[in-house]
Amino acid sequence: MAAGNEVSTTYYIQHHLQNLTFGKHPENGWSLAHSAEEASEMGFWAIHVDTMGWSIAMGLLFIFLFRKAGKMATTGVPGGLQNAVEMVFEFVEDMIKGAFKGHNPIIAPLARTLFVWILFMNTLKIIPVDYFPVLFSKLGVDYMKIVPTTDVNATLGLALGVFGLILCYSFKVKGVGGFAKELSLTPFNHWALIPFNLLLEIVALLVKPFSLAMRLFCNMFAGEVIFILIAMLPFWAIWLLDVPWAIFHILIVVLQAFIFTVLSVVYLSAAHEHH
């Protein structure tokens, strides 16, 4: 490959994987970053505008569709939207019955929200990788990464929200003493092994949000990279590879939403166990 092509290829990949970032730059003040270097110089408190925007948009779409289905619900012949929503309700209900052993009316709505919201965000990946970056570049926007779950900040935010609920219900159901006792006397029920138990249990507890976040992020990010690499091939190769990969990735999109949701339910179920 020629040197010019290498630069072009590198720029293409980096451009499509770069988020639209807003933050306080040391020299430019509050502004949008025009390069990856500027984005990194904005520091920790910079905001990925595209991730925030598209994730909120998918959340609003979820609310709109389910609210519309609720208003249009009928006991007669249901429409397509009502059928789809009822399938989601039944699917999540079966998931809860199999994975959650406690009694909490919040868990089913939470699981339903997680599953559909993540599914909607993941589904944005099916849109061709060049469509929105080219469209927004014509509007003067340098970067536009439309799949929120390919941003570790989004997946980690979701996972930390679930982790907060895990801690909340662990203290609420077991009490401070019960939760401390569980951490101290599991898996070895002997006072001499309390330091070892604490080390194991605290590490296992802290790993939960990171495992949730990284599993979803890594799978979606890897799929995005493959779509970008396919888009760089000759036209005939794009049609030969992109369509089969997109069809296969539909399974990944649904599967990752399901895995994140069911693991969240399992972790919350453990938080409700009195032992």
Cite the active site residues.
211, 215, 219
Residue 224's CB: how many other CB atoms inside 10 A? 20
DSSP bridge partners of 97: none
Indicate the residue type of 255. Answer: L
Asked if 198 contacts 184 with a C-beta cutoff of 8 angstroms, the reply is: yes
Report d(CA 246, CA 223) in Å as an integer.
Answer: 9
In eight-state DSSP terms, residue 234 is -
Q: Where are the alpha helices (DSSP H) in the chain?
A: 3-17, 36-41, 49-72, 80-99, 107-123, 131-138, 152-184, 194-231, 235-271
Burial per residue of 158-188, b for 16 or more beta-carbon CB atoms within 10 angstroms, e otherwise: bbeebbebbeebbeeebeeeebeebbbbeee
Report d(CA 257, CA 33) in Å as an integer.
Answer: 31
